[in-house]
Structure 1
Amino acid sequence: MEMDQIDSVRPTIARLAVDGLWFAEIFGLAPLEKGLRERVMSELRTWTKE
């Protein structure tokens, strides 16, 4: 991402957030309710398309 010649801050934040969601689900550390998880993922996808 850093080599793409675009601002990589939002995509990096999105990647780290998804990593955190995955970690929480794998280890059962307060995973998000399905509806909220879907809304969060949708918002993160919009960040990576700007």
Structure 2
Amino acid sequence: HKARAANLLLTTGRCLSKCCLMSTLSMLSMANLMVKMGICHNNHGRGPKSSS
């Protein structure tokens, strides 16, 4: 029973860490997208820049 409980805890922990990692990655990608959109918006407002 102890081994089974430990296995269950390990599986749950793995699932939680995976979910946490996925949510963090999605948040980072969203922030990156927002930053890119902001940069594009700024470039459109000021005209073309030399830096891409």
TM-score between the two structures when normalised by the length of structure 1: 0.45
Question: Which is higher, the Rg of structure 1 or of structure 2?
Answer: 2
Question: Higher helix share goes to which structure?
Answer: 2
**Greater RCO structure (CA 8 Å; 6+ sep):** 1
